[in-house]
Structure 1
Amino acid sequence: MKKSNLNRLEYFVAIVEEGTITAAAERMRISKAVVSKQLQLLEEELGATLVVRNSRHLNLTEVGQSFYEAARASVAQAEEAFEAVRQGRNEPTGNLRITAPLDMGVTYISPVVAEFRIAYPAVTIDLTLSDTRFDPVEARFDIAYRVGWLADSANVARKLAGFQQIVVASPRLVEQFGRPEHPEDLARLPFVEHRALPNPLHWQFESTSGETSGVQMTPALRADVTPAIKAMVVEGAGISILPDFFAKREIDNGTLVRLVPDWSLPAGGIYAVYPPTQFRSAATKRFADLLAERLRKNLA
């Protein structure tokens, strides 16, 4: 049986991560012809098409996507093995790609990214903050942090904390419209809609006695990121619904007040989501543990 050329895995991983053969060649500091030839030989060796080429882009086939995940893990393991021998210890190295919602990312994750990079300067971190829910496999993230509720998938998830959704308003708006006593009273108030949510206008409340109330809000403003929504609410433009951890500071200093506190909305969770691979780099594991520790302290 012919022995596989494992070096071709590194070429293939570079092609996928850089998006083109030209960019992969520049990253590896070799000629474009060599990279192209190695991809061709790898596909011949496997007897499968891994990428579909056109003049500008390379798109992975279904087989190519699966093979990429395995190849990436193998290359990362090899790099860590070399680095562990060089350093005499298993210190985090390499690249770490993270995505998180904007509100959580700015408040909680960005400071930990800075702390982690100072502690482990051999790691290069790429942080993407967006309320778009990227799939960590398709978008090639090592960790995707999620706030809310998880859809079923093959990805691996770890719950880090829970949170409550709360209705908030500025004292100015409460003075103008009065304080609502029942969730149904919220429907008459201007509402700031979070456009990124799957059902942003209909909310189901439950009282401490078990009574339920469904409320359909009327949007006065719309936005797609939570910090912008909070800023609008603080200025008195409308009420909205925010995670309790993201409104805590403003409630404590009096710039926001909680409405209908005797009624609750469905609780959510904060999760770390990983691609479904057996191998995770030392950087991924160490960062995940550090962030989980910081969240426990900050959200306690």
Structure 2
Amino acid sequence: MSHDLNETLIFVKVVEQGSFIAAAKSLGLPKTTVSRKVQELETRLGARLLHRTTRRLGLTEAGSIYHEHCQRIARELEEAESAVSQLQSGPRGWLRFTVPYSIGITWIAPLLGQFHAQYPEIRLDMHMGNEKLDLIAGEADLALRVGALPDSNLVARKLGSLRTQVFASPAYIERYGEPLHPEELQFHRILAMRKPHHTGNSPRFTWQLGENGGELRDFPVTPLMTANDMSALNGALVCGEGLLLTGDVMAKPFVESGMVRRVLAGWTGPEVDFNAVFAGGRLVSPKVRAFVDFLVEKLNFDANYMLAQCPAAKLAQRQQEKEDAALESSGKRILEKVTAAA
């Protein structure tokens, strides 16, 4: 049996208002339309639902049973529409987003406390990984992605850019030497991001590099190790296992600590965009819009980012500085005593 929800809702309104005229006014419909819809409903059900007299309307037994069930449906429908309207009126509800693990840990996680303080009615579900969830199908509300965006049905808002360069650890350079030209990369141990759909038997890897900002050229490399997230490759880089082409801001903390340094000076790889990606259209969810606007305002690819954004990290750093100062002071006192005794 086919169902026309409009007929049912009109019937409920007629019973609620007590007449076809009152129901028509409430619904903003002609009385003839309201009467016809109720008649069509009775025909479809094969049962009379209303006793019609010149003075009043009354429910038949079938009408009473039908109204009891349909009244609940009408009420739940009103509540559903009210809930959606309330959700769209301001940022609230669960926001599920996906982000690469290394970026999620380093740059996104330190911001989430601030975001929640600003938008307490939004709950966050952060999914860290590089698999592409289907945003159109509703697997996530938002994706934070690095690189090209193949799906034209999505809207992308740029959050920042990563300049890629080649890095190595002092231990690697001491053991294997330093490449002086990209042509030498084919003879070096390489750490590389796994290609999409790569199964381990891909015949060819290349790195794109350009000299002094010039045109990018393909240089063949043979990876010793591939991974689907930069965090794993960073660990191997620091341990001296190979060379890595990575974003400058991602390598910056390791460079400043002396654990790695840039090689192939003057040669840079592609500049890669970091985007917030979401389903477009006129009805973008307020919670998605709020989160993207927040990231545009707050996100800053800097090595001291965690300390700048996370109060706990600041406190830990200050505590460490106090302990270091106390240790240094204690050492000086011991040295003074030893010197005086001598």
Which TM-score tier does this pair reach, normalised by the shorter chain?
0.5 to 0.7
- TM superposition shift of 1:126: 0.9
**Closer, same or farther in 2 for the Cα pair 1:161/1:187, shift >3 Å?**
same
| Cα distance between partner residues in 2 of 1:222 and 1:293 | 34
- TM superposition shift of 1:296: 4.1
- TM superposition shift of 1:208: 2.1
Aligned to 2:160: 161
Please show how residues 147-296 of structure 1 align to structure 2 within 5 Å.
147-197=146-196, 201-208=205-212, 210=214, 213-296=217-300
Instruction: Give the CA RMSD over aligned residues.
Output: 2.9
For the residue of structure 2 that corresponds to 1:175, the secondary structure is helix
**Closer, same or farther in 2 for the Cα pair 1:120/1:182, shift >3 Å?**
same
Instruction: Give unmatched runs, 5+ long, in structure 1.
Output: 7-74, 85-89
Aligned to 1:98: 97
- TM superposition shift of 1:183: 0.5
Contact 1:131–1:196 (Cα < 8 Å) also in 2? no
Contact 2:249–2:302 (Cα < 8 Å) also in 1? no
Contact 1:112–1:290 (Cα < 8 Å) also in 2? no
Q: Which of 2, 6, 24 is the aligned partner of 1:3?
A: 6
The TM-score, its normalising length taken from structure 1, stands at 0.67
For the residue of structure 2 that corresponds to 1:140, the secondary structure is coil
- TM superposition shift of 1:177: 1.9
**Closer, same or farther in 2 for the Cα pair 1:261/1:130, shift >3 Å?**
same
- TM superposition shift of 1:297: 6.8
| Cα distance between partner residues in 2 of 1:282 and 1:206 | 41
| Cα distance between partner residues in 2 of 1:81 and 1:220 | 54
Deviations 1:10-49 (A, max 9, x none): xxxxxxxxxxxxxxxxxxxxxxxxxxxxxxxxxxxxxxxx
| Cα distance between partner residues in 2 of 1:207 and 1:152 | 31
Identity %: 30
Aligned to 1:29: none
Q: Which amino acid aligns with 2:297?
A: E
Aligned to 2:112: 113
| Cα distance between partner residues in 1 of 2:235 and 2:277 | 28
Contact 2:87–2:93 (Cα < 8 Å) also in 1? no
For the residue of structure 2 that corresponds to 1:133, the secondary structure is coil
Instruction: Give unmatched runs, 5+ long, in structure 2.
Output: 10-78, 199-203, 306-342
- Deviates further, 75-84 or 262-271: 75-84
Aligned to 1:129: 128
Aligned to 2:86: 82
The structure that is helix-richer by fraction is 2
Q: Which amino acid aligns with 2:169?
A: S
For the residue of structure 1 that corresponds to 2:299, the secondary structure is helix
Contact 1:102–1:131 (Cα < 8 Å) also in 2? yes
For the residue of structure 2 that corresponds to 1:3, the secondary structure is helix
- TM superposition shift of 1:79: 3.1
